[in-house]
């Protein structure tokens, strides 16, 4: 019986496929439920936010990270620890603004979109928009307000997938984690 | 190494919450069906990918063993703890510690609300079986948290 040593031996890969496909089923459902791509993007962002505010605890507990002293350090942790730990990829941090309050995360391959092809008629859909919400929610829990958007998406024919992160302000008092 | 476990759990919770919000207004049943459908498509695709290099299955029982061992381990990092059958197309899969329930309090009052976290996994099993040529109906029940039993009724084929 050669059954044991086939694809399943790589348990990590399989569970990430479960994740990818589950996310795909969610997006498909949202596209059915909402009339516009913008509404889908918004909902994905919202769901991502709810995940982010919880995921940050996981990251801090498992990742053994302290406080970040500047945005460069934050960017580093997001890319090398956060993305690595939860999605298994390490995006490249680049395109810093001169004031060092904005940077881009370039994803060579996007694990969320592994099996995806966007049908025509969804030009405004940010398929992986949940990532924006996750980052926003997670950073809010460490007192940082940020604005995140997709500036490029390989699914829409761009060369790469690029997330732009813009630091807005430091949140003074911890805001209680309310769900949107 | 990627650790998608917690991300998957969080995502699943959001999905359940969303579907119940949007589709569960009129009746709980709508939401359950929707989640089951989603699980079905996921299960179908997963089974397709997992069994690419697998030897042909001998019979239904063989498929069921595969689901209990490899499929379950791939998805939930453990095997099914107990598999029973009446040899007439009914199989009961018991998981003593079902992963999607382990984050929920194990007191009795949570048994009813926790049930909604089982619709998608039920669909997953049904989808995987369908892909392997076995049409079925799958239900789940919790008797004590986080233990749960999936009952598979194979339809004549």
Asked if the structure places residue A2 within a domain, the reply is no
pLDDT at residue A14, rounded to an integer: 65
Cβ-based contacts of A61 with chain B (< 8 Å): none
Asked if the structure places residue A158 within a domain, the reply is yes
Calculate how close chain B gets to A159, using CA atoms only, in Å: 25
pLDDT at B136 over 60: yes
Q: Do B55 and A3 touch (CB under 8 A)?
A: yes
Judge whether B58 is closer than 8 Å to chain A, CB to CB: no
Read off the pLDDT of residues A84-94 as tens digits, 9 standing for 90 and up: 888 888 999 99
Inter-chain CB pairs, A–B, below 8 Å: 110
Pairing of strands A92-94, B148-154: unpaired
The residue assigned the tokens 């430091």 is: A170
Let me know: does A31 contact A40? Beta carbons within 8 Å: yes
Let me know: does B149 contact B93? Beta carbons within 8 Å: yes
ipTM of the complex: 0.89
Let me know: does A72 contact B39? Beta carbons within 8 Å: no
pLDDT at B134 over 50: yes
Q: Do B46 and A12 touch (CB under 8 A)?
A: no
Asked if the structure places residue A97 within a domain, the reply is yes
Sheet containing A92-94: order of strands: A92-94, A102-107, A161-170, A144-152
Q: Locate B125 and state its tokens.
A: 């099993």
Let me know: does B92 contact B78? Beta carbons within 8 Å: no
pLDDT at residue A43, rounded to an integer: 95
Q: Locate B107 and state its tokens.
A: 């007191």
CA angle B102, B107, B109 (to 5 degrees): 115
Domain boundaries, position A154: 36-170
- The count of C-alpha atoms lying within 13 angstroms of the C-alpha of A4, restricted to the half-sphere facing its C-beta, is 1
How far is the C-alpha of A165 from the C-alpha of A132, rounded, in Å?
9
Domain tally, chain A: 1
**Positions of chain A with pLDDT lower than 50, given as ranges:** 1-9
How far is the C-alpha of A111 from the C-alpha of A95, rounded, in Å?
22
The answer regarding whether domain B5-154 maps to CATH 3.40.50.1820 reads: no
pLDDT at B33 over 60: yes
Asked if the structure places residue A176 within a domain, the reply is no
Read off the pLDDT of residues B87-97 as tens digits, 9 standing for 90 and up: 989 999 999 99
Q: Domain with A63 in it: what CATH number?
A: 3.30.1380.20
Read off the pLDDT of residues B11-31 as tens digits, 9 standing for 90 and up: 999 999 999 888 877 788 888
Calculate how close chain A gets to B151, using CA atoms only, in Å: 22
Nearest CA in chain A to B13: A51
pLDDT at B155 over 50: yes
pLDDT at B62 over 60: yes
């Amino acid at each position: 019986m050669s059954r044991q040593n086939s694809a399943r031996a790589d348990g990590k890969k399989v569970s990430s496929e479960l994740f990818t496909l589950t996310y795909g089923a969610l997006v498909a459902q949202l596209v059915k439920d909402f009339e516009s791509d913008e509404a889908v993007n918004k909902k994905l962002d919202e769901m991502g936010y709810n995940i982010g505010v919880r995921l940050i605890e996981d990251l801090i507990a498992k990742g053994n990270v302290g406080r970040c002293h500047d945005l460069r350090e934050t960017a580093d942790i997001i890319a090398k620890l956060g993305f690595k730990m939860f999605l298994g990829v390490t995006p490249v941090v680049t395109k810093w603004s001169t004031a060092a309050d904005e940077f881009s995360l370039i994803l060579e391959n996007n694990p969320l979109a592994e099996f995806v092809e966007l049908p025509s008629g969804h030009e405004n859909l940010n398929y992986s928009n949940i990532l924006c919400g996750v980052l926003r929610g997670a950073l809010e829990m460490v007192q940082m307000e940020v604005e995140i958007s997709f500036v490029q998406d390989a699914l829409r024919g761009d060369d790469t997938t690029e997330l732009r992160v813009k630091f807005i302000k430091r949140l003074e008092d911890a805001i209680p984690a309310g769900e949107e | 190494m990627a650790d998608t476990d917690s991300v998957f759990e969080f995502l699943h919770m959001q999905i359940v919450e969303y579907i119940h919000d949007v589709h569960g207004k009129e009746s709980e049943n709508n939401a359950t069906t929707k989640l089951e459908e989603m699980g079905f498509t996921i299960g179908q695709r997963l089974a397709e990918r997992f069994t690419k290099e697998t030897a042909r299955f001998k019979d239904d029982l063989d498929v069921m063993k595969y689901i209990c061992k490899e499929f379950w381990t791939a998805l939930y990092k453990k095997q099914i703890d107990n598999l029973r059958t009446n040899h007439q197309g009914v199989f009961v899969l018991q998981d003593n510690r079902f992963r999607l329930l382990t984050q929920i309090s194990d007191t009795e009052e949570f048994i009813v609300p926790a049930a909604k976290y089982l619709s998608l996994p039920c669909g997953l099993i049904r989808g995987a079986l369908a892909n392997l040529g076995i049409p079925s109906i799958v239900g789940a029940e919790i008797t004590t948290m986080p233990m749960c039993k999936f009952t598979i009724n194979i339809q004549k084929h």
